Chains A and B, each alone.
Chain A
Amino acid sequence: MNYYSRLSDIVSNRIEDLLSETSDQAQAITGIIDEIREGLTGAQRSVKAAKNSVDRLMGELSERQGEAEVLNTRARQLLQQHDEAGARQTLLRRRECLDLAAGIEQQLIAARSTHEHLQTIHRAVEARLAEAVRIDEKLRRGVVPIPQPATTTKMHSVVAAPPDNSRMKLVEDDLLALRRELGHA
């Protein structure tokens, strides 16, 4: 059985709601976890492709900007040699280079935005997987998950995958902010 049609469904559909529609919750959560894991693999693929696209565009942009810089130097040299026509021609090429770079820059903005969006989705799917694993734990202990607002869900020590360093840094920052708020700093 498929619980999700799209990757974004994993983010938007509450696991408790999916479980409430099934008679065998233990079996369902296993299927849900499998599907989320597959979704996570897909999200990783897309993030990687988006990152490659950003890198490719950055490389091309840097190449064009470097080329423009070389042409500028060349134009300066030509001018020093009193070759104004040659300098003008070179500056025209430099201008073309910069125009191209400006176009690539626009594409780069879009590619970065896509990359960020996909990273957000990826993290959300990771979080959903962690949640699913916690629910699975509960079910194994014989606790039936009761549908409740996500904000009241308590944190458990069981997580699907260890958070990376950047995530842990954010968590530490959050913790520090909370300590300050509570006067524990």
Chain B
Amino acid sequence: MNSPSPAIDTALEDDQLMVRLQEGDRLAFPALVKKYQQALLNFFFANTRDRQLAEDLTQDTLLKLYDQAWDYLPSRRFRGWMFRVARNLLIDSVRRRTNDALVKAVQGPPDESSLLDSLTSQSDDSPVQNADRSELARAVDELLPTLPEDQRLTFTLHHFAGLSLAEVAEILEASLATTKSRLRLAREKLREELEARGFQA
């Protein structure tokens, strides 16, 4: 007999934590925070390029998760539910800001440390490989704001938050085919731009 996949395991575990939270067990909350704080931070940073804002939005998402725990239906789709909350907060935040966060990010200080570095670097790599990777990460980081919103959100949810395409489709309220197409377009555009900058495809 096949054992359940890790994805199913984690979905089940998330549901169990949410049920505990709904039952009033406050200890379930730190467990969820520990599990998803970094993924949320990566998602927000990739979309805002602002570390402080990404941290604030992560906090807001987690608080909302706590306050709205009653609204969650344990159907093994916790990540989709949480990232939908995150996506709505991101959109609200971008709309609220007079200077669009993305525009500001493009013009932001070049020395701002990039989470992309930590996402793409691997400790086993040589210093040269790490440097290349870091340079590539920075380039992707710079190019992300140039993508249309739907494509950027699809790309970052899939690659930065580690969600499956089905989960991304649910969060963005799009069909799986549309989501795949958005991801393909985002990749094509990034590849094109990276090649223009001298990176190999």
Residues of A within 8 A of B (CB): 2, 4-8, 35, 38-39, 42-43, 45-46, 48-50, 52-53, 118, 121
Assess the B71–A7 pair: CB atoms within 8 A. yes
Question: Which residue numbers of B lie inside 8 Å of A, CB to CB?
Answer: 19, 22-24, 69-75, 77, 80-81, 84, 170
Q: Which residue of A lies closest to B80 (CB)?
A: A5
Closest chain A CB from B97 CB (angstroms): 27
Inter-chain contacts of B81 with A (CB < 8 A): 5-6
The residue that A42 contacts in the complex, of B22, B24, B77, B170, with Cβ under 8 A, is B22
| Complex contacts, A4 vs chain B, CB 8 Å | 73
> CA A35 – CA B69 in complex, angstroms?
17
A121 in contact with B70 (CB, 8 Å) = yes
Q: Which of A2, A8, A42, A53 has the most CB of B within 10 A?
A: A42
- Given A5-B81, A5-B170, the answer on whether A35 and B73 have CB atoms closer than 8 Å is yes
| Interface contact A6-B73, CB-CB below 8 Å | yes
Within the complex, the shortest CB–CB distance from A39 to chain B, in Å, comes to: 6
Tell me whether A46 and B73 are in contact (CB under 8 A): no
Q: Are A7 and B72 in contact (CB under 8 A)?
A: yes
Point out the residue from B19, B77, B84 that lies within 8 Å of A45, measured CB to CB: B19
The interface residues of chain A lying within 8 Å CB-to-CB of B74 are 38, 42
